[in-house]
């Protein structure tokens, strides 16, 4: 951990009691700050409040009182999910109070080698693969943190100058990370996500580009080269560009040709040997390979990871096989693009479980994928009627169910040996579940109850 005095004697407000907020509050006390912690909700577990207060932190819960804007705070550390049009946040913006996220705080105290990953889809898998590959050859610690569910600042506290940290960073985190400077940055792809938060696609892209904003020609931006738009976005970086591509050959980076993965013209391994299924996971592997090779990782280490790693939970996760049916949990597919790529990963008939929060869009884009890959559909949630319309357009049998749990036995009744039963909702979970993780866990529990087996 790097010793800094930036917060010594400063008044800091931490907004949000998530994992990152709680860790940030305790860290700021160590850094000499006078800390107030605020959460709009009242925690059900009072241990959280007691633990904060025991560290000398003033705690305010049950509201984001606008009066806090007049208390002379020098800095606000905001939970990434709190929007900037929140009245209290907006008041701080208006008066010019610096607002950062915990990722920025983590960067400020980190003293090692930073690799950072962002993108619309594939962030967690790419982050995990990159960390595993670099760790295979490392003589020092290699950890991961960030949007992957582990506090950046908490891990950064325990790492030294020879250690490596691979961080997954969301657009929300990056908006509040003005000085972050990874040596290797990865952009997996950019679609049109979170426009309810960012308002415009350009705002969303700009937030993503904060990952490379402070890079120089001595740093590297690893970026997907499969769309013209992403190639143009790369031109906005000052870093050395390292492309990865499943569709376009480029000797400057990692790519696929005739079923073989190459790094700068040298063979690495066949794509068929990657244990993860689907074209999106070939792309994730290519991104991780580029970062790993830039970090000095051997081909043998890369092969070991890619031939054994079976997936991140909720991200096209293999659950089990039962009576010749394969169950997959892809609850993280909260948008249309993610479900598109999930369906392309299977050459078996798919019984698709889909639906969720209605964000106002329809699903005609999925019709060609339904026609090609889907045998039957079970739909649920607020947007089940729109999902059903797309299934009808594709000529696919559609059954309505209450949720992703009740859909499991319905899917089983429709299945035959050789089928895939896939939860890939194409929608957020918030109409019925607090998170995609909970939705995925409940799906797995339903599969276990149906089969009498534990996930593999």
Three state DSSP letters for the chain? CCCCCCCCCCEEEEECCCHHHHHHHHHHHHCCCEEEEEECCCCCCHHHHHHHHHCCCEEEECCCCHHHHHCCCCEEEECCCCCCCCHHHHHHHHHCCCEECHHHHHHHHCCCEEEEEECCCCHHHHHHHHHHHHHHHCCCCEEEEECCCECHHHHHHCCCCCCEEEEECCHHHHHCCCCCCCCEEEECCCCCCCHHHHCCHHHHHHHHHCCCCCCCCCCEEEEECCCHHHHHHHCCCCCEEEEEECCCCCCCCEEEECCEEEECCEEEEEHHHCCCCCHHHHHHHHHHHHHHHHCCCCHHHHHHHHHHCCCCCCCCEEEEEECCEEEEECCCCCCHHHHHHHHHCCCCCEEEEEECCCCCCCCHHHHHHHHHHEEEEEEECCCHHHHHHHHHHHCCCEEECCCCCCHHHHHHHHCCCCCEEEECCCCCCCCCCCCHHHHHHHHHHHHHHHHCCCCC
Q: Residues annotated in the binding site, as ranges?
A: 119-125
Cα(189)–Cα(284) distance, integer angstroms: 10
Please state, in angstroms and rounded to a whole number, the distance separating the CA atoms of residues 171 and 194. Answer: 9
Domains of the chain and any CATH numbers = 11-100 (3.40.50.720), 103-308 (3.40.1190.10), 317-450 (3.90.190.20)
Encoded tokens for 440: 């995925």
Nearest alpha carbon to residue 115 among 178, 40, 70, 180: 180
pLDDT at 366: 97
Q: What is the pLDDT of residue 313?
A: 85
**Which tens digit of pLDDT belongs to each residue from 285-302?**
999 999 999 999 999 999
Low-confidence ranges of the chain (pLDDT < 50): none
Measured in degrees and rounded to the nearest 5, phi and psi for residue 8 equal -60, 120
Which pair of structure tokens corresponds to residue 52?
Answer: 């904060």
For residue range 147-158, what is the model confidence (pLDDT) as tens digits? Answer: 988 999 999 999
Which residues neighbour 173 within 8 Å (Cβ) at sequence distance 6 or greater?
80, 101, 102, 103, 146, 147
Cα 431 versus chain centre, distance: 20
Binding-site members for ATP are: 119-125
Structure tokens at 404: 């992703």
pTM for the full predicted model: 0.83
| pLDDT confidence of residue 199 | 87
- How high does pLDDT run on average in the chain? 95
């Amino acid at each position: 951990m790097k010793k800094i005095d930036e917060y010594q004697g400063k008044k800091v407000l931490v907004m949000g009691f998530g994992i990152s907020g709680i860790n940030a509050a305790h860290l700021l006390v160590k850094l000499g700050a006078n800390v107030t912690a605020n959460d709009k909700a009242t925690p059900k577990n009072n241990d959280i409040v007691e633990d904060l207060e025991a560290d000398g932190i003033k705690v305010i819960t049950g509201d984001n009182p606008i009066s806090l804007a007049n208390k002379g705070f020098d800095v606000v550390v905001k939970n990434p999910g709190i929007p900037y049009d929140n009245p209290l946040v907006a008041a701080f913006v208006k008066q010019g109070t610096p607002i950062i996220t915990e990722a920025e705080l983590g960067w400020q105290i980190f003293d090692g080698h930073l690799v950072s990953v962002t993108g619309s889809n594939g962030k967690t898998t790419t982050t995990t693969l990159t960390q595993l590959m670099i760790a295979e050859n490392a003589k020092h610690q290699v950890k991961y943190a960030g949007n992957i569910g582990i506090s950046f600042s908490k891990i950064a506290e325990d790492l030294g100058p020879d250690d490596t940290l691979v961080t997954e960073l969301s657009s929300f985190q990056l908006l509040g990370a003005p000085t972050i400077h990874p040596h290797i940055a990865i952009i997996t792809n950019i679609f049109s996500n979170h426009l309810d938060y960012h308002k415009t696609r350009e705002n969303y892209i700009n937030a993503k580009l904060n990952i490379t904003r402070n890079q120089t020609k001595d740093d590297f931006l690893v970026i997907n080269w499969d769309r013209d738009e992403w190639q143009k976005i790369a031109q906005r970086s000052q870093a050395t560009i390292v492309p990865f591509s499943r569709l376009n050959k480029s000797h400057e980076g990692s790519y696929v040709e005739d079923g073989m993965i190459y790094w700068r013209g040298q063979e690495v391994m066949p794509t068929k040997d990657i244990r993860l299924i689907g074209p999106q996971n070939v792309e994730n592997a290519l991104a991780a390979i580029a970062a790993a090779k830039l970090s000095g990782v051997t081909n043998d280490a890369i092969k070991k990871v890619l031939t054994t790693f079976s997936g991140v939970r909720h991200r096209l996760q293999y659950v089990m096989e039962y009576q010749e049916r394969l169950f997959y949990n892809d609850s993280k597919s909260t948008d249309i693009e993610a479900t598109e790529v999930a369906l392309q990963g299977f050459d078996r008939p798919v019984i698709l479980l889909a639906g969720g929060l209605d964000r106002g869009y329809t699903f005609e884009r999925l019709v060609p994928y339904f026609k090609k890959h889907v045998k039957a559909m079970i739909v649920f949630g607020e947007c089940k009627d729109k999902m059903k319309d797309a299934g009808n357009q594709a000529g696919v049998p559609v059954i309505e169910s209450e949720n992703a749990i009740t859909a499991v036995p319905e899917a089983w009744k429709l299945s035959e040996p050789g089928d895939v039963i896939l939860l890939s909702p194409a929608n957020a979970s918030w109409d019925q579940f607090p998170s995609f993780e909970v939705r995925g866990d409940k799906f797995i529990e339903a599969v276990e109850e149906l089969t009498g087996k534990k996930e593999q």
